[in-house]
Amino acid sequence: MSGSRTGRPPVRRAVRRPAAPRPPRENPFVRLSTRARRAWDRPLTAYYLILGGSLLITVLGLVMVYSASQITALQMSLPGSYFFRKQMLAALIGAGLLFAASRMPVKLHRALAYPILAGAVFLMALVQVPGIGMAVNGNQNWIALGGSFQIQPSEFGKLALVLWGADLLARKQDKKLLAQWKHMLVPLVPAAFMLLGLIMLGGDMGTGIIVTAILFGLLWLAGAPTRLFVGVLAVAAVIGTVLIQSSSNRLDRFRCIGATEMGPDGSCWQAVHGIYALASGGFFGSGLGASVEKWGQLPEAHTDFIFAVTGEELGLAGTLSVLALFAALGYAGIRVAGRTEDPFVRYAAGGVTTWITAQAVINIGAVLGLLPIAGVPLPLFSYGGSALLPTMFAIGLLIAFARDEPAARAALAMRQPRFGRKRGAGGSQGPRRWNTMRRRASAARTSGER
């Protein structure tokens, strides 16, 4: 028997096992993309994108309206904050409309479709009545409300077409009539052409383009066949060509696409100075209030060309931020329309998304010199209460639809209310412990106990 000199048994040393291979480190870009994909797939993503994106666009628009309109107001012998105060009032009223629309059930939205359409048509007809309608910048599409307040009924015609068209197509889909091309076109296309006729009587072709885009969006969502879609597009193209050829002003706007010189007659003055404003902004801009073009050089600096002033004062970073917000809003609207099982929600969400996206593309494309100047405001951003109010109501529609998704509704129901809960002495754990005890006590009672 072997042993150590001290009489103790020898110490057995543990056999070293080979070290397990370390797992390979995950690529940080892959990890980031995985987290972003999970965030996009959450039930409340569309809800937060619509609510947060529209709020940021509106707030930034108020800031830029205040900055871009000061010189114009002073030139008109008005206080510098005149246009800002009017836009702020419209934003507050619009916030109330947004909240009301976001809390309305879908049935109430459908019930409002016909009254809103009838009201919009009535007001658009009143525009042509002498003494009631008034012309602004050559377009007879305004109604004076007294004082400095005016209303443009054609802006409400967009909302009317979305709601009424969505309700009409949903009813026909329930009855399985959309497979017939007559039911798909009638009465949707004649009603849209009636709205277009009332708009074009006032000479507002920009709003007419947006209404046409909404019509095509609804037909595409309804599954219109290609030949039918192309046929309606060809008719609209022919009518648009005739309207453009009949107006020298509209022809000049098409000639100014991509213009870098104003021309001998100055017909491209606005387009060229819009490019000057964007080019002088650089990456981070000259600072809020430091625009040079708004000092009488750039017409409509606080309305149609507010994006150019944004580029001059906030630079490329500011313009890309605005584009990102509109892209997020458009993505959220498409997601709401694609995930719902309710046909009315799908058509209405798709129509609102088409409306806002098309109008933003047309406005920004005109400022960049890629499209003709159509005279349409940037949604939620440009000055104009008549455009802001129906747009914010439409945003409320999207919020209501995003909240009504089954997964989003379940996620909202799981949340505990933050206010009105009984708090114990245990700090942050008090409310949760108290709620748990209350549920246990309620479960222990019999059905007849009080």
Q: What is the DSSP letter of 1?
A: -
C-alpha to C-alpha distance for 83 and 174, rounded to whole angstroms:
47
User: Quick check: 206 and 361 in contact, CB under 8 A?
Assistant: no
Tokens of 414: 């799981």
Can you give the pLDDT at residue 426? 43
C-alpha to C-alpha distance for 117 and 161, rounded to whole angstroms:
7
CA 158 distance to own-chain centroid: 14
Listed in sequence order, the residues at least 6 apart from 258 whose beta carbon sits closer than 8 Å to its beta carbon are 369, 370
Give the Cα-Cα-Cα angle 162, 166, 171 (nearest 5 degrees). 155
pTM of the model: 0.85
C-alpha to C-alpha distance for 296 and 332, rounded to whole angstroms:
38
Tokens of 240: 């648009």
DSSP codes, 27-41: PHHHHHHHHHHHHHT
Residue of 363, 371, 268 whose CA lies nearest to 311: 363
**Cα pseudo-dihedral 248, 251, 257, 263, rounded to 10:** -40
Can you give the pLDDT at residue 6? 59
Q: Print burial letters for 56-81: b (CB count within 10 Å at least 16), e (below 16).
A: bbbebbbebbbbbbbbbbeeeeeeee
Mean pLDDT, each 10-residue run in order, the chain (450 residues): 58 63 71 75 89 97 96 93 96 97 95 96 92 82 84 95 97 91 89 93 90 94 86 83 83 86 84 93 93 91 95 96 97 93 96 97 96 93 95 97 84 66 44 39 39
The one-letter amino acid code at 201 reads L
The one-letter amino acid code at 90 reads A
* pLDDT, the chain, mean: 86
- Kind plus residue range of the DSSP H or E element containing 150: strand 149-151
Listed in sequence order, the residues at least 6 apart from 390 whose beta carbon sits closer than 8 Å to its beta carbon are 155, 156, 158, 159
How big is the chain, counted in residues? 450
Q: What is the DSSP letter of 370?
A: S
Can you give the pLDDT at residue 397? 96
Can you give the pLDDT at residue 2? 52
Distance of CA 120 to CAs 114, 154, 167, 198, Å? 10, 7, 16, 10
What is the number of helices (H) and of strands (E) in the chain?
A: 17, 3
Listed in sequence order, the residues at least 6 apart from 408 whose beta carbon sits closer than 8 Å to its beta carbon are 43, 44, 46, 47, 402
Where does residue 180 rank: exposed (0-12), middle (13-18), buried (19+ CB within 10 A)?
exposed
Where does residue 114 rank: exposed (0-12), middle (13-18), buried (19+ CB within 10 A)?
middle
Can you give the pLDDT at residue 202? 85
